[in-house]
């Protein structure tokens, strides 16, 4: 799997915001979901993601790997990840063959409570924009009066 090039995403601490520019849908991930997204979007396979999450969360490898596989499948259904015809590189191989594979996550000194990664999807924010009275305010701004 690899990141759909029509996806915009950013992470701030333990929160991730993802926007599918093709569908206009917004996604928000926290905690383990944010970590799983960060790794999957960087090209890591589900097994590798599961291993890294066990270093950060109180969860066993079998459970988390299954959860990550389901999470990745949902991300693919929502068009955030797409099938990658090239073999998935390990992070070490990625450096040598030029694949854009992100850094691994650090293990934490104390593992955090685990919450199964789920997708928080908002596919109607563009509609909310239209309902908001502020959308009628132009760049000139409300306090700006007529020029004549």
Partner 1 sequence: MRILYVTPLYLPWLGGLEVLCSQLLDELRGRGHEVAVVTAVNDAVTPRGLGEVDGVPVLRTDAYRMVTWQDPMGMLLIEREIATFIDDFKPDVAHGHDGGPLLWMYQRAARRRWPLLVTLHIVMTRHFADRLAGLAKLLAASDWVTGVSDDVVADTLSYVPAAGDRISVVRNGALPPGPTAGPVPDGPARLLCIGRLVPQKGFDRALDALAVVVRRRPEVHLTIVGVGPADRDLTEQVERLGLGPSVTFAGRVEHDEIGGLLAESTAVVMPSRFEGLPIVALEAAWMARPVVGTDVAGLRMAVADGVNGLLVAEDDREALAGAILRLVDDRDEARGLGAAARARVEREHSLAACVDQYEAIYARLVAEHAG
Q: Which is nearer to partner 1, 106 or 138 (CB)?
A: 138
Count other C-beta atoms under 10 Å from residue 48's C-beta.
19
Identify which of 1, 37, 22 has the alpha carbon closest to the alpha carbon of residue 119. 37
Size of the site for partner 1 (CB under 8 A): 36
**Strand (E) or helix (H) holding 16:** strand 15-20
- Angle 120-121-124 (CA atoms, 0-180°, nearest 5)? 145
Q: Mask of contacts with partner 1, 23-42, x by CB under 8 A?
A: ---x-x--------------
**Rounded to an integer, what distance in angstroms lies between the CA atom of residue 29 and that of residue 80?**
13
CB of 30 to partner 1, least distance (A): 9
Query: Is 135 an interacting residue with respect to partner 1 (CB under 8 A)?
Result: yes
CB-facing half-sphere around the CA of 44: CA atoms within 13 A: 24
Q: For partner 1, give the closer residue by CB, 31 or 89.
A: 31
Out of 17, 82, 94, 104, the residue judged to bind partner 1 by CB under 8 A: 17
Chain positions contacting partner 1, by CB under 8 A? 8-12, 15-19, 21, 26, 28, 122, 124-125, 127-146
């Amino acid at each position: 799997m690899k990141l759909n090039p029509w996806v915009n995403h950013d992470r701030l601490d333990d929160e991730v915001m993802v926007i599918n520019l093709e569908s206009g849908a917004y996604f928000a991930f926290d905690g383990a979901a944010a970590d799983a997204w960060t790794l999957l979007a960087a090209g890591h396979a589900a097994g590798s993601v599961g291993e890294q999450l066990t270093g950060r969360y109180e969860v066993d490898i079998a459970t988390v790997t299954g959860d990550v596989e389901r999470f990745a499948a949902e991300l693919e259904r929502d068009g955030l990840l797409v099938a990658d015809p090239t073999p998935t590189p390990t992070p070490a191989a990625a450096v040598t063959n030029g694949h854009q594979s992100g850094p691994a996550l650090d293990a934490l000194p104390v593992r955090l409570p685990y919450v199964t990664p789920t997708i928080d999807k908002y596919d109607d924010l563009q509609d909310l924009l239209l309902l908001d009275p502020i959308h009628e305010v132009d760049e000139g701004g409300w306090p700006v009066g007529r020029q004549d």
